Amino acid sequence: MNSSFQKRKGYCRKFARKIVNDYFKNNPPIELPIPVEKLATYNGFEIFELDSLGANQRAIFYNSKIENRKLIGINKDYHINNKRFSIGHELGHYFLGHPPEFDCTEDEIKVYNQEADEFSGELLLPLDLLKEKIKEIKNIKELATIFQVSEQALFIKIQNQGLLKHL
């Protein structure tokens, strides 16, 4: 993987941490799992559960610039962990300044989605909090419950952050 992409991933994580820190600074105390819906609402997003999204579509984001309304639609048929991750992902698109999908090439869409995933992963699993918890709890399943994320998402995060040795 090239270094500019690694840098960009680092930027996504840093931005996510800033959003989480800003939220808890103004809405103490720090709580787990990260209250992603409240965090989104705090940042002016409106979230709706949708019945009509196709089975392959997890979420949709619409930014109405005319009225300054940021709308996130979540497929109601997915698991709560997945819904939470999708909210984080859509927040990522917004905060990272990604253009609408129709203005992008397939390759760009792929990169933007990876970035939004990176953002969401950090938002739901902030590194400091994860490091703290991993000292006390060594069980992936238990950790995943505490952070309300899938075990898969947690494992990827632990692996990418070089925290496997703590388990």
Residues contributing to the site for other proteins (CB under 8 A): 46, 48, 50-64, 66-67, 69, 71, 73, 75, 86, 89-90, 93, 98, 100-103, 113, 116
> To the nearest whole angstrom, how small is the minimum distance from the Cβ of residue 73 to other proteins?
4
For the record, the structure tokens of 46 come out as 């409106």
Q: At what angle do helices 127-136 and 3-26 cross, to 10 degrees?
A: 80
The nearer residue to other proteins, 3 or 52, going by C-beta atoms, is: 52
* Nearest in space to 45 (alpha carbons), one of 19, 70, 27: 70
The nearer residue to other proteins, 2 or 102, going by C-beta atoms, is: 102
The nearer residue to other proteins, 50 or 137, going by C-beta atoms, is: 50
R_g over Cα of the chain:
16
> To the nearest whole angstrom, how small is the minimum distance from the Cβ of residue 22 to other proteins?
23
**How far, in Å, are 39, 72, 164 from residue 42 at the CA level?**
5, 14, 33
> To the nearest whole angstrom, how small is the minimum distance from the Cβ of residue 64 to other proteins?
7
> To the nearest whole angstrom, how small is the minimum distance from the Cβ of residue 24 to other proteins?
25
* Nearest in space to 121 (alpha carbons), one of 160, 164, 63, 167: 160
User: For 105, which DSSP code?
Assistant: -
The nearer residue to other proteins, 69 or 138, going by C-beta atoms, is: 69
